[in-house]
Structure 1
Amino acid sequence: MARWIALIFLLLVQPAWGWDLDPKLEPLRPFLGKVWRGEFSDSTPDKPVIDVSQWQPALQGKAVRITHSLNKGQYEGETMMVWDEQANSLVFYYFTTAGFYTKGTAYAEDGVFYFHEQVAGAGEGIKEVRSEVRFVDGEMHQQAFYLKDGDWVKGHSAIYQAVH
């Protein structure tokens, strides 16, 4: 009987994905294991822009994979994020169906996640992207800024709710 109780206890305290998350990725835990749905701030009833993203642990807890889809597959992207000991930072690659990709770094400070990306292959003149992501009252708030033609401009923003 004691073995069964110990087994049940172990099953209850283990993460749902079956392994521990790398301690350096712990700040991302509130986003993990959920599907997030957000409507872009410039979305209109005639031209809605709906983003659905999923944040999951990957590579046995050593990475975080983020997949997202705008307007049910009109545009898609996938990010892989890991802790880089040499850089002493979170690093990531983001690949898209639009034919460009980014390489970036991320860090958390005072409950805000900051992302800075170098863009490769973008035909719209965007060379860098900076984003801020906040977890506020169970919602994910995101704001992007683009370095385009030498100037930083405000990009897309959205507020996401966890749908499951």
Structure 2
Amino acid sequence: MDVLRWGLCLICIYNPIAWSADLAKELKVFAPYLGTWEASFSMSTGTPAVQDVSRWERALNGTAIRTVHSINNGDYGGESLIFWDKQKQSLVFYYFTTAGFYTSGRIEVLSDHEFAAYEQVVGNQDGITQVKSTSRFKAGQFSVATEYFKQGKWTAPQTRVYQPSHKTVVFK
């Protein structure tokens, strides 16, 4: 019986779904995103596909969501914290990268499994100053459509589809 109890305890500790019940109510939209995901996509036409591995987890006693991701086993990576800002009465986030730039922004919940993010970029070498994206969770996967404000105009949306993964986020 003790072995069974210990096993159930480990399942609860390492199962992101079990953590979703302990999220702040403002963060419930992120519950289906908890876990590890991967997507393969091309950064631009004619370039080889890259692999993005992303992990979403409950943080700070359920008052924040932490995301980490790496592209091509650590060639590039980043880390975010998403939380409810009581003063602004809004979901906000900060994203820090291995490329030396960071973003800050706000998130607008669109539905139970969909949200839009609006970011201000600081220090990007490619001239990107803003990013907007929409994430949708459906049928056990999620998609992210992203647009970049670069050199005075918005790029066409790029959509990436993330599937559940057992891979590890790698930083060098």
What TM-score, normalized by structure 1, do the two folds share?
Answer: 0.84
- What is aligned with 1:47? 48
What is the CA–CA distance in structure 1 between the aligned matches of 2:28 and 2:140, rounded to whole Å?
17
Instruction: Specify the code of the residue in structure 2 equivalent to 1:91.
Output: V
SS across alignment from 1:98: coil
Q: Which has the higher contact order (CA 8 A, sep 6+)?
A: 2
Deviation >3 Å, runs of 4+: 11-19, 41-46
- What is aligned with 2:74? 73
Q: How does 1:27-66 map to 2 (within 5 A)?
A: 27-32=29-34, 34-42=35-43, 47-66=48-67
- What is aligned with 1:133? 135
What is the CA–CA distance in structure 1 between the aligned matches of 2:46 and 2:163, rounded to whole Å?
19
- What is aligned with 2:119? 117
SS across alignment from 2:156: strand
Size of the alignment, in residue pairs? 157
**Where does the alignment leave 5 or more consecutive residues of structure 2 unmatched?**
167-172
Q: Percent identity?
A: 43
RMSD: 2.8
- Judge conservation of contact 1:40–1:156 (CA < 8 Å) in 2: no
**Greater alpha carbon shift after TM alignment, 42-51 vs 22-31:** 42-51
Post-superposition Cα deviations, 1:123-147, rounded to whole Å, max 9, x if no partner, equal: 1111100011100211110111011
1:24 to 1:145, Cα distance in 2 relative to 1, 3 A: same
Instruction: Specify the code of the residue in structure 1 equivalent to 2:102.
Output: Y
Q: How does 1:69-108 map to 2 (within 5 A)?
A: 69-108=70-109
What is the CA–CA distance in structure 2 between the aligned matches of 1:77 and 1:24, rounded to whole Å?
23
Confirm or deny that 1:21 pairs with 2:23. Answer: yes
Q: CA deviation at 1:67?
A: 0.3
What is the CA–CA distance in structure 2 between the aligned matches of 1:107 and 1:89, rounded to whole Å?
8
What is the CA–CA distance in structure 2 between the aligned matches of 1:155 and 1:72, rounded to whole Å?
25
**Greater alpha carbon shift after TM alignment, 125-134 vs 11-20:** 11-20
Post-superposition Cα deviations, 1:39-93, rounded to whole Å, max 9, x if no partner, equal: 1255899722110000000001010000000011000000001001121111000
**Where does the alignment leave 5 or more consecutive residues of structure 1 unmatched?**
1-6
Q: CA deviation at 1:157?
A: 2.6
Q: CA deviation at 1:18?
A: 9.7
What is the CA–CA distance in structure 1 between the aligned matches of 2:109 and 2:38, rounded to whole Å?
22
What is the CA–CA distance in structure 1 between the aligned matches of 2:136 and 2:106, rounded to whole Å?
16
What TM-score, normalized by structure 2, do the two folds share?
Answer: 0.80
Instruction: Specify the code of the residue in structure 2 equivalent to 1:158.
Output: R
**Greater alpha carbon shift after TM alignment, 104-113 vs 125-134:** 104-113
- What is aligned with 2:149? 147
